[in-house]
Amino acid sequence: MTTSTTFRPVIAIHGGAGTITRASITPAQQQAYRDALRDVLQGAQQKLAAGAPAEEVAVEAVRLLEECPLFNAGRGAVFTADATHEMDACVMRGRDLACGSLAGVSTVRNPVRAALALMEAGGPVFMIGEAAERFAQAQGCEMVARDWFSTEQRLTQLRTVQAAALASGREQVALDHTAQSQTQAAPLDERKKMGTVGAVVLDVHGQLAAATSTGGLTNKKPGRVGDSPVVGAGTYAKHGVVAVSCTGVGEAFIRGSAAHTVAARIELLGESVDQATAEVIHRVLPPLGGDGGLIAVGADGEVSLCFNSEGMYRGQIGIDGEALVAIYANEALAPA
- 10 Å Cβ neighbour count for 172? 18
Helix (H) / strand (E) element for 324: namely strand 324-328
Q: Any known ligand binding at 247?
A: yes
Determine which one of 2, 21, 80, 196 is catalytic: 196
Residue 84 known to be catalytic: no
List, as one string, the DSSP characters of 46-80. HHHHTT--HHHHHHHHHHHHHH-TTSSSSTTPPPB
Q: Any known ligand binding at 5?
A: no
CA 318 to chain centre: 19
List, as one string, the DSSP characters of 183-194. SS--SEEEEEEE
Q: Any known ligand binding at 227?
A: yes
Q: Any known ligand binding at 206?
A: no
- Burial (0-12, 13-18, 19+ Cβ within 10 Å), 165: middle
> What DSSP state is assigned to residue 220?
B
Q: Any known ligand binding at 107?
A: no
Query: Alpha-carbon distance 279 to 173, whole Å?
Result: 28
Q: Any known ligand binding at 301?
A: no
- 10 Å Cβ neighbour count for 300? 18
Work out the angle at residue 314's Cα, subtended by the Cα atoms of residues 241 and 71, and round it to the nearest 5 degrees. Answer: 115
Q: Any known ligand binding at 265?
A: no
CB 227 within 8 A of CB 234: yes
Reported residue count of the chain is 336
Q: Any known ligand binding at 204?
A: no
Rg, Å, the chain Cα set? 18
CB 296 within 8 A of CB 244: yes
User: Which alpha helices (H) appear in 186-327, and where do they start and end?
Assistant: 250-255, 258-269, 273-279
Binding residues for substrate: 224-227, 247-250
- Residue positions forming the annotated binding site: 224-227, 247-250
Tell me which residues are annotated as active site.
Answer: 196
